[in-house]
Chains A and B, each alone.
Chain A
Amino acid sequence: MRLLEVKHLFKEFGGVVANSDISLEVEEGMTMGLIGPNGAGKTTLFNCIAGYYRPTRGKILFDGKDITGWPSHQVARIGIARTFQGMKTLPNMTVEENVMVGAFCRTKNREVARGEAQEIMELLNLREKAQSLPTELPIAIQRRIELARALATKPKLLMLDEIAAGLNPLEIKEILQTIKRIKEERRLTLFLIEHVMEFIMTISETVIVMAAGRKIAEGPPEKVAREPKVIEAYLGEKYAKG
């Protein structure tokens, strides 16, 4: 079943075209990767889907519903959760409270929210840090907090924006394992932006490549990586020909 569908999406900022005629489909249960050089418009596309930006033109369908232009809190409630590029924690709330805020998306009851938060913290190995403030913890753990918080909203589609950025190889391996595990346990569909190639190439079933606001390639990772257009976008024309 098709979970997310983007049709001919354009996003312009003044004269700058950040997304130009993007179309894509994400099937339920799959893992979709989104790569491209800096400034390709990946995060802009995420922001359009998640309701932070209103697309200039085009349509976004989720679960068959037209969600184009919905505000982000409604997008979250319908079942799309996201994490942010860089670090965005709730700095004055404890780890447990961070996750509880996510859980409150689906319940009014504090005890239910706390139970849900504890379950997810267990899943992500955050139990011991429950009473710490996120800003006191290392980056790798802060990333897990973001993941936990997003997960607590009980999404169908989880969009991760550079979740592995700034982590060391060991931590990348860890978070890769974690993401695979939660995908299984929570029956998630994943859509992720990543610069770390070994990460995105191992986890994704399909990869979309963007450059200069356009979609330039789509397919299985090993095939996409060999496409001249993709190599050109990353390394320049010279290498693509050779």
Chain B
Amino acid sequence: MGRLLKDIFSFEDRPRFERIGFLIFILIVLVFPWIIKSAYGRAVMIKFLLFALFGLGWNLIGGYGGQVDLGQAKNVGFGAYATGLMMLWWNVPFWVTVPVGMIIAAAESFGVAYPMFRLKGHYFAIATLCVALVWKELFVFWDWTGGARGVEIPIRPTPNFTYMQFGSPIYYHYFIFFLFMTQLLFMNWFRKSKLGYECQAVRDNEDVAASLGINVYRTKVIAYTITGGLGGVGGSFMTVYYLYIDPDFVMPLDLSILIAMTVMVGGAGSIWGPVIGAALLIPLDMYLGAWLGAQKRLGIDFMIYAVIMMFIAAREPKGIWGIIERMRKKRA
């Protein structure tokens, strides 16, 4: 038990500058809403934390596991709809809907993982993309999910913690930060676990992994299942934060790609990569996109995105974190 707690909370094995950086990051996020009063600035911060949360979960299969999954939006959708529909139908408290959403997302991932991992590399990536698209179409088509009109969450008369509805964005800020931290700590445990090592070995070389007693197929299926469950958490948050969900909003292809992209830009397979990637891409999107839109120069932000993406893909496959690590090694 003591060891488990230590594995979750300890960053001792990381170099000192990382730990200091992490501490500064926590402090900034904690005081942020008291310094930044603009509603837009706060919304950007919340979206950043949300995408950092998405990235952390995706990093398990995409970064540590090395399997390019382009369908994480379906799991976001499962989480979002589980929370939305259960609240709408039965008034179920938010904190009950979260594990239900996670279990649904994980169960679905487990089910599709079995046939999907018969495929490798690009073929696997395309399969994940297709599965996510199929689910999105189903949610548009079905009546019981609200179809294309989506689900509207009834507004509660008073702010409350049961349904996580608040008047002020400050609450949502700390709420998403809490979810982000739990997932970060889970990943901190994961990267030190046997499964974490096994995933990395499978990513690096499947033949070697198998020769060391690792069941490659099983490892992939487990990693994909956990990633699915983790994706649901952010979806549940989206439901109570935006109070409205539809398939185009919570499970589109763009979302799947953006999640994968933030992690790859930040640094796949490292604990900080997803956070760095989201810290770069989300403000860029929200500020640059808005500013260029106001200038009637729509689309330029997408070009900038694409250039960043191409630069990372061509020059630094380990993302921004890879650049930082290399610079540090050079100085040492």
Within 8 A of A (CB), among B181-210: 192-194, 197-198, 200-201, 203-205, 207-210
A153 at the interface (CB under 8 A from B): yes
Known: A73-B216, A90-B200, A101-B201. A82 touches B211 (CB 8 A): yes
| Cα A71 to Cα B203 with chains together (Å) | 19
A105 touches B (CB below 8 Å):
yes
Say whether B213 contacts A77, CB under 8 Å: yes
CB–CB B197/A97 < 8 A: yes
CB pair A97–B194 under 8 Å, yes or no, is: no
Return the chain A residue nearest B66 by Cβ: A92
Q: Mark A39-61, 1 if CB is under 8 A from B, else 0.
A: 00000000000111000000000
A105 touches which of B192, B193, B212 (Cβ 8 Å): B212
* A199 at the B interface (CB under 8 A): no
Most buried by A among B200, B201, B207: B201
Q: B269 contacts the other chain (Cβ, under 8 Å)?
A: yes
Q: Are B204 and A92 in contact (CB under 8 A)?
A: yes
A92 touches B269 (CB 8 A): yes
A241 within 8 A of B: no
A64 interface hit (Cβ, 8 Å): no
Asked whether B207 lies within 8 Å of A92 as measured between CB atoms, the reply is no
Given contacts A73-B215, A76-B212, whether A100 and B197 have CB atoms under 8 Å apart is yes
Q: Which of A64-108 contact B (CB under 8 A)?
A: 71-73, 76-77, 81-82, 84, 88-93, 97, 100-102, 104-105, 108
Query: Once bound together, how far apart are the Cα atoms of A87 and B145, in whole Å?
Result: 53
How long is the Cα–Cα vector from A149 to B201 in the complex, in angstroms?
12
**Residue among A52, A91, A149 making CB contact with B212, cutoff 8 Å:** A149
Known: A50-B211, A77-B213, A102-B212. A93 touches B204 (CB 8 A): yes
Q: Give CA–CA (A51, B214) in the complex, Å.
A: 13
Specify which chain A residues have a CB less than 8 angstroms from the CB of B198 in the assembled complex.
101, 104
Task: Contact check, A150 vs B211: say whether CB atoms are below 8 A apart.
Answer: yes
Would you call A110 an interface residue if the criterion is a C-beta within 8 Å of the partner chain's C-beta atoms?
yes
**Cβ–Cβ contact A76 & B201, under 8 A:** no
User: Do B213 and A105 touch (CB < 8 A)?
Assistant: yes
- Would B208 and A72 count as touching, CB distance under 8 A? no
The listed residue (A50, A101, A108) touching B209 by CB distance below 8 A is: A101
Smallest beta-carbon distance B85→chain A, Å:
38
- Which listed residue (A72, A89, A113) contacts B211, Cβ 8 A? A72
Min CB distance B166 to A, Å, is: 40
Complex Cα–Cα for A110 and B195 (A): 11
| Most chain A C-beta atoms within 10 Å of own C-beta, residue among B194, B203, B207 | B194
A79 to B, closest residue via Cβ: B213
- What residues of chain B lie closer than 8 Å to A153, measured between beta carbons? 212-213
Chain B residues in 8 Å Cβ range of A104: 194, 197-198, 212-213
Question: B215 and A89: CB pair below 8 A?
Answer: no
Question: Which residues does chain A contribute within 8 Å of B7, judged by CB atoms?
Answer: 110
Contact between chains at B208 and A84 (CB < 8 Å): yes
- Complex CA gap A88/B201 in Å reads 11
Give the docked Cα–Cα distance between A149 and B193 (Å): 18
- Report the Cα distance A101→B196, complex, angstroms: 10
Indicate whether A76 sits within 8 Å of B210 (C-beta atoms), given known contacts A92-B269, A104-B194, A110-B193.
yes
Instruction: Assess the B204–A91 pair: CB atoms within 8 A.
Output: yes
A152 to B201, CA, bound (A): 14
Chain A, Cβ-Cβ closest to B215? A73
Is B205's CB under 8 angstroms from A90's CB? Answer: yes
Supposing A88-B205, A88-B207, A153-B213 touch, asked if A110 and B200 sit within 8 A by C-beta, the answer is no
Q: Is the CB of A73 within 8 A of B201?
A: no
Report Cα–Cα, A91/B208, bound state, in Å.
11
| Bound: A84/B211 CA distance, A | 9
Given contacts A73-B214, A97-B200, contact A108 B208 (CB under 8 A): no
Set of chain B residues within 8 Å of A91, measured between Cβ atoms: 204-205
- State A104–B194 Cα separation when bound (angstroms): 7
Tell me whether A73 and B210 are in contact (CB under 8 A).
Answer: yes
Instruction: Please state if B192 and A76 are interface contacts (CB–CB under 8 Å).
Output: no
Distance, CA A229 to CA B134, complexed state (A): 63
Instruction: Write the nearest CB–CB distance from B215 to chain A, whole angstroms.
Output: 5
In the bound complex, CA of A91 to CA of B205 (Å): 8
Which of B193, B200, B210 has a CB less than 8 Å from the CB of A72? B210
Closest 5 CB pairs of A and B: A105-B213, A90-B204, A76-B213, A72-B210, A101-B201
Would you mind naming 28 contact pairs between A and B with Cβ atoms under 8 Å apart? A52-B207, A73-B215, A76-B211, A76-B212, A77-B213, A81-B211, A81-B212, A82-B211, A84-B211, A89-B204, A89-B208, A90-B200, A90-B204, A92-B203, A92-B204, A93-B201, A97-B200, A101-B198, A101-B200, A102-B212, A104-B198, A105-B213, A105-B214, A110-B7, A110-B192, A110-B194, A149-B208, A150-B212
Sample of 16 further A-B pairs with CB below 8 A, known A73-B211, A90-B209, A92-B204: A50-B211, A72-B210, A73-B210, A73-B212, A76-B211, A81-B211, A81-B212, A88-B207, A90-B201, A92-B269, A93-B200, A101-B209, A101-B212, A105-B214, A110-B193, A150-B211
